[in-house]
Amino acid sequence: MAKHNELGKKGEQLAVDFLLKKNYEIVERNYRFDKAEVDIIARIEDTLAIIEVKTRSTTNFGNPQDFVKPKQIQRLVKAVNEYVIENALDVEVRFDIIAIVKENKRFVIEHLENAFYHF
């Protein structure tokens, strides 16, 4: 289990570094509300990007983004609604996924903007 956590932490840091290079401002990491945890809350211009990071050591069982389930999405939306209200923000909100796959010694990063919508 420890290796899984290490890979996840490494993936989140890679995602933060990736976003910073793309001129995103990291507003919050690991924001918790109720049963949800938002991996990264970032800002680009007037958009609040809510980023779920999925890191996998292989795609044998599917792409990382395929592991974001409807219940998790509902929890994320609820948490983000609370965050926006709590901080009195007037921003557009977008839900992204950063999918990271370890290939040998390197990591392949895919940023899926508007990966899902609240429903």
- Domain with residue 104: its CATH number is 3.40.1350.10
For residue 103, tell me if it sits in a domain: yes
pLDDT at 60 over 50: yes
Residue 36 lies in a domain: yes
Q: Tell me, what's the pLDDT at 3?
A: 57
* Tally of structural domains, the chain: 1
Q: Which of 56, 61, 63 is nearest to 101 (CA)?
A: 56
- 3-state class of 100 per DSSP? strand
pTM value is: 0.88
Going by pLDDT thresholds of 50, 70 and 90, the confidence category of residue 119 is very low
Examine residue 91 and state whether it is found in any structural domain, yes or no. yes
Neighbouring residues of 55: CB distance < 8 A, sequence distance ≥ 6: 7, 8, 10, 11, 12, 14, 64, 100, 101, 102, 107
Q: What is the pLDDT confidence band of residue 2, given thresholds at 50, 70 and 90? A: low
Q: Identify each DSSP E strand in 1-119 by its residue range.
A: 25-33, 36-44, 47-56, 92-103, 106-112
Give the pLDDT confidence of 78-113 residue by residue, as tens digits.
Answer: 999 999 999 999 999 999 999 999 888 899 999 999
Helix (H) or strand (E) run with residue 104 in it: none
Quote the percentage of the chain above a pLDDT of 90.
66
Give the Cβ contact number of residue 82 at 10 Å: 14
| 95 in any annotated domain | yes
How far apart are alpha carbons 105 and 55 in whole angstroms?
14
